């Protein structure tokens, strides 16, 4: 049973920082690429960042590039999203996801449909 549990969300002022965590269980996650997505009220879920199984490669949405950093600790089965210089438009529910259909893949997916399992989300609210 694959389980992803996000934590670390909260209320922060614009310009502040938060660090999200995603604890994974049920598989050997060091084999799989993982990603973060977000969904604001009334909007579709959108890609934020992804990280390769080894941690050596990452990709970001243009809207967060230079402000957010995705990382992973395979020994702890945990993926992180460090968010700096937060803006009100970053307000959303943030979800982590894992692509278990491909092991040791060097292709980092950006599409929702490329991911197989999702967490329940953690809310991030940025006040102006």
Please compute the mean of the pLDDT values over residues 18-30 and round it to a whole number.
94
The predicted model gives 88-104 an average pLDDT of 97
Instruction: Kindly state the average pLDDT of the residues 6-12.
Output: 98
Band of pLDDT at residue 1, cut at 50, 70 and 90? confident
Split at pLDDT 50, 70, 90, the class of 111 is very high
Burial string for 77-90 (b: 16+ CB within 10 Å, else e) reads bbbbbebeebeeeb
- In terms of C-beta distances under 8 Å and separation of at least 24 residues, what long-range contacts does 109-112 make, across chains too? 109/33, 109/35, 109/50, 110/35, 110/47, 110/50, 110/59, 111/47, 112/37, 112/45, 112/47
């Amino acid at each position: 049973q694959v389980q992803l549990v996000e934590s670390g969300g909260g209320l922060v002022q614009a310009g502040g920082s938060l660090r999200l965590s995603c604890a994974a269980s049920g598989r050997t996650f060091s084999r799989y690429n993982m990603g973060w997505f977000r969904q604001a009220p009334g909007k579709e879920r959108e890609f934020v960042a992804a990280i390769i199984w080894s941690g050596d490669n990452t990709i970001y949405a243009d809207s967060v590039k230079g402000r957010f950093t995705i990382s992973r600790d395979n020994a702890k089965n945990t993926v992180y999203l460090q968010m700096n210089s937060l803006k009100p438009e970053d307000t959303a529910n943030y979800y982590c996801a894992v692509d278990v259909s491909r092991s040791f893949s060097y292709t980092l997916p950006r599409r929702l449909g490329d991911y197989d399992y999702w967490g329940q989300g953690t809310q991030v609210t940025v006040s102006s």
